[in-house]
Structure 1
Amino acid sequence: MAMFSQRVFSGVQPTGNLHLGNYLGAITRFVSLQDQFDCIYCVVDMHAITVAQDPAELTRHIREVTAAFLACGIDPKRHIVFNQSQVSEHAELAWVFNCVARIGWLNRMTQFKEKAGKDRENASLGLYAYPSLMAADILVYRATHVPVGEDQKQHLELTRDVAQKFNNDFATSIAAHGFGEAFFPLTEPLIQGPATRVMSLRDGSKKMSKSDPSDYSRINLTDGPDAIAQKIRRAKTDAEPLPGEEAGLAARPEADNLLGIYAALAGTTKGAVLEDFAGAQFSAFKSALVDLAVAKLGPIGSEMQRLVGDPAYIDQVLADGADRARLIARSTMDDVKDIVGFIRKR
């Protein structure tokens, strides 16, 4: 059995308007993983252009996601923070994987069907081949673990399939080059814990989303204390007091959402929150949630705004991270070329 050093990779698309759902669903987990693994966190700007982008907006969004990483506590000196397009090995390995992955695998990807919609013939080839590039993002660093939400599980399964097929297809060459039985690891998912699925503040049946036309549906990471307070106070609820146990939230999606947000921000469980607020009216609970959210998110928003105001610093962080990422990626790509049979400069 091949042994691989423990390494986490994850990427975030620079789509703008990062919100509480992104923070609780992904970024807080990124921060906590820093104490357990060597971490590589990537702003996946090459994935972003699978759909049309305004170039100036894309530049701004890359810096904004980087600012969010840093403001939330990711350490770019201990770990690696960079944007994907600065490391060309992602694209190189993606092409090799395009020749390993099977059309049938990609045809089963539900995200392509959702994003392409009814006009699939007019979707870009990049959108279709997105999972192959995602596999390259992970495996160019031979990452052993990836934190994933429900919507990314299928893509990670494809990454594992690609790694397994590469290892099988080139087994003789892999062994001949001294890599044992497998060159790529079968990357394991780090499944998100509870209370990471954050719903709209206006409709508890929909995920919190940057694309919702109402800004009151979400708490943006750049929102100041006044905006945070106003959005929580205007969040949709119902007329009933808070129940004494979680079973009482079953048919109350808005109540369940606000309880989940409180629990996630406080680092506790919904059950523990209900013990404190059982029988309380929402006015009292919302006041407590405002205080907690402002205390947790206010400093992040302030630091993000400070960092976004210093683009030269952000660009330097990304350049430094890319230099370090490239050393790992280039080593992997050199080995892949040898395994596949390409001739490369020595």
Structure 2
Amino acid sequence: MQNSTVFVLDKNENSREIIKSFIENLDFVNEVKLYDDFTRGYEDIKQSENPIVILDISEDFAGLDEIAGKLKLVTSKIIITSVNYSTNTIIKALRLGAKEFLPKPVLREDLVRVLSMLASISPENEVSQSKIITVYSNKGGIGKTTIAVNLAAELAKVTKDKVALVDLNLQLGDISTFLNLNPPFDVNYVIRRLIDKEENILIKGFEKYKDLSLYVLSDPSYIEQSESITTQQITTLFSALKKVFPYIVVDMSSSIDSISLKILDSSDWIMFTTIVNIPAIRNAQRCLNLFRSRKYPSNKVKIVINRYMENDEIKIEDIENTLGESVYWKIPNNYFTIMEAINKGVSISEVNAESNIGNSFRDFAAKVSDDIIEQSVVQYRV
């Protein structure tokens, strides 16, 4: 069990003192620090080696979301408390980064139990609810790389969490080109170091995108390097990524081979992407049959329609009836904005955040984040 300093960020002085009295004599607690100034608390927390944060959100105030977003980048060991324990409050707490939610007045036995659990998590295993979200299409030219890049960028903005964008289109990846990056390392290099147990190379192998909490791992520098990557190495890579990143967005090739199936099998969600025309829908139908034969859970595969136009002759209802699945999201057709973003090497929101497609990606990321939180909220209901 890791010894920790516990930081209590609470506007209520009596509440702060009660919490301190509950935990200050626990063997694994080095010190309990109390703050009514959340900004000052954050400055001290980011200097601490193994902090646990108790953050009260009973009083909403300007800057709470910003502070919570910063805290998530420092530690995942966050307990959120509130006098309001409605489902909406619990969802808000999870969105702010709570590992656990405790209603007020906090009971000593509940607090000690949660603190003991968090203290037992080693720093390298902090991220416990990480999700691998793979953008896939079994037909080329559908726009899956555009979707992967912009979904990842918007997730980083919406959640303020660390987001990994991983190019597993091992022979012909484009992510680094789409974002005008020239990473010093690539996925082949990182995988080799992970095999040698050099897990500290993981974050160094990624290139951070501008001022976002978005980290990019590019495809192999040479096509022949992709041929030596194995399914076991993909498993090792994903296992390591899940220890660091709450969200892992994967782009991959359109082929169906052992590597592709390992990526798809290992994914928590598959954003299965298609467009509105007969050949694409027929290909999608065949691929969904493959997923069903592999016994994927019904909530694993999400249908995403790219280049959608309201006046398409084929309607969404027709697609849903043909595929036997509901459409999860529709991304509008906006060729010129997309091409401007690609040619400039930036995300779509940097070209025109208020365009129809810019708004769509922002809302798409928010829905993904909220739906992941909704899946987790049941265990916190009281």
The TM-score, its normalising length taken from structure 1, stands at 0.28
Q: Larger helix proportion, structure 1 or 2?
A: 1
Q: Larger strand proportion, structure 1 or 2?
A: 2
Highest relative contact order (Cα 8 Å, sep 6+), 1 or 2?
1
